[in-house]
Amino acid sequence: MQVVVGRVVKPHGIRGELAVDVRTDSPEARFAEDAVLTGRTRDGTTRTLTVAAVRPHGGRLLVRFAEAGDRTAAEGLRGMTLLAEADALPPTDDPDEFYDHELEGLRAELADGTAVGTVREVVHVPAGELLAVDVSGREVLVPFVAAIVPRVDVDAGRIVLDPPEGLLDG
């Protein structure tokens, strides 16, 4: 299984560097020189990418991949989601932190046990994370904050929602 560790924002400069938004707590390991990642485009196409160089830059990383040696090649990677193998992830020490793959597929229910739907995806936006929940065949984006998602029980395969009025309405 693979997990999201970053997203390519845009090319930077003329030597093939890319600005990458980091989605991992251990970027020094995930983006180490010679690390192999999978790049996935929005249409689902994937390709293998090998980190050739990396450096911090304004809250992001500037990453150069061996497969993209100049700006033209780097432009072709714009918008790619960067994935790594989940097997190599260190365990989370914080009981309130979860990897995306741990949440995807969990049953979403209300505090009284009423089934709401299934978590399909964790969506990362600048303001935080959203859970894309399949509710009767339609996607509802639920802010992943303690006030709305007061309980996550990965072992039981469920999350508990306390949605504000109207959030789940079609």
> How do residues 104-142 score in pLDDT, each as one tens digit?
999 999 999 999 999 998 887 778 889 999 999 999 999
CATH 2.40.30.60 residue ranges of the chain are: 2-88
**CB of 133 closer than 8 Å to CB of 160:** no
Starting at the earlier edge strand, list the strands of the sheet with 151-153. 138-143, 128-135, 115-125, 107-110, 158-161, 151-153
**CB of 23 closer than 8 Å to CB of 31:** no
Tokens standing for residue 167: 């959030």
How crowded is residue 119: how many other Cβ atoms within 10 Å of its Cβ?
24
According to DSSP, the β-strands at 128-135 and 46-57 are unpaired
CATH 2.30.30.240 residue ranges of the chain are: 100-161
What pLDDT sits at residue 71?
Answer: 93
CATH architecture entry for 2-88: Beta Barrel (2.40)
How far apart are the C-alpha atoms of 148 and 108, rounded to whole Å? 12
- Name the residue type at position 74: A
> How do residues 27-78 score in pLDDT, each as one tens digit?
888 899 999 999 999 888 999 999 999 999 988 999 999 999 899 999 999 9
Specify the pTM. 0.61
Pick the CATH number of 100-161 from 3.40.50.720, 3.40.440.10, 2.30.30.240, 2.70.50.60: 2.30.30.240
What pLDDT sits at residue 133?
Answer: 96
How far apart are the C-alpha atoms of 48 and 136, rounded to whole Å? 36
